[in-house]
Structure 1
């Protein structure tokens, strides 16, 4: 069955071209929890430091699924042959004072680094967030995740804050987090000025 976000321009599942072979993009459901756990557990521990919770834990995955079912998260999986290769999430809190803000999170398997998958997923998350009506998008990562930072900067994100020693890894070492943000209205105005109204479309 094809599922569509509230805007008809994003349909799932669908296939996208990738440097390492075609990949299916589809919305995550409760049935994907075990496969996403396997994906998360195969990632380097450092890749997970920017997340507020450890998604390698079943109870955290259960909470993620419940948030999807409540409509608080849109999560898109990149899948090939039944294996999860990446995921993107758009997180919002409609009941907070920041209901206009969406946080974007993107993870890609190490084997797919450099293939463009991270950028594909980041672009997908941006498009979903904009179609949901969010005015501001934010993403955070450790300062040494230069590839991830470059992916978001290419989409118009700019550094907004540096959180010093904000997370600790499993060895107890502290790491800084950088917060990037994207003002949707300003970006869309710039795109209209240049005649590029669908710059974030997939």
Structure 2
């Protein structure tokens, strides 16, 4: 794939990618990780993620450039929960690779994965300071649904808000059909 003249390879995550993910997570600012349920800087967390990915419980894509992991996307859905029709998109891009369209491409690919899984509603959780990410998801049709104040605490004990954006894929699909957009 190429975006804004930056070439990268996007592919499904495998268990062999655990070391690359740990190295990638170590390069990220801690505020980039706060919207995740677990700390992906911890090996046992990433190993569990890889196992869930292998079992199809999470669908993850990784973006590599020159052999280095520069971004990842995951579509997370719990078929045994009260909300099996809802999936969450999680996107991370290395600081040095931002503003090049990689996050947008990963978001689009994750969106497409969710559609193939018959997901009815997609959500994304974002730290409100990440205005570029919020703008990207709003362009994709997501809208603000909630602001959870002081919802997460970083390693220094500082609390941060989390914004939740969502898109109703069934409603969007019906609207597209009504307007003749297929």
TM-score bin, normalised by smaller chain: over 0.9
Determine whether 1:77 maps to 2:62: yes
Pairwise CA RMSD of aligned residues? 1.1
Alignment of 1:15-54 (within 5 A): 16-54=1-39
Counterpart in 2 of 1:153? 138
Structure 2: state its 5+ residue gaps.
Answer: none
SS of corresponding position for 2:161:
strand
Q: CA deviation at 1:190?
A: 2.4
Cα offset, 1:112, TM superposition? 1.5
Q: Are 1:176 and 2:150 matched, yes or no? A: no
Residue pair 1:20, 1:112 contacting (<8 A) in 2 also: no
Alignment partners' CA distance in 1, 2:46 and 2:170: 33
Deviations 1:136-156 (A, max 9, x none): 000101111111111111111
Give the SS at the match of 1:172. coil
Match of 1:59, SS state, is: helix
Task: Give distance in 2, aligned partners of 1:168 and 1:81.
Answer: 34
Counterparts of 2:132 and 2:179, CA distance in 1 = 27
Q: Is the 8 A contact 1:142 1:178 kept in 2?
A: yes
Structure 1 residue ranges (4+ consecutive) displaced by more than 4 angstroms after TM superposition:
none
In structure 2, do the counterparts of structure 1 residues 195 and 109 end up closer, same or farther at CA, with 3 Å as the change threshold?
farther
Cα distance in 2 between the residues matched to 1:136 and 1:114: 27
Structure-to-structure mapping, 1:6-155, within 5 angstroms: 16-155=1-140
Q: 1:36: Cα distance to partner?
A: 1.1
TM-score by length of 1: 0.87
- 8 Å contact kept, 2:58–2:75: yes
Contact 2:20-2:68 within 8 A present in 1 as well: yes
Aligned length: 182
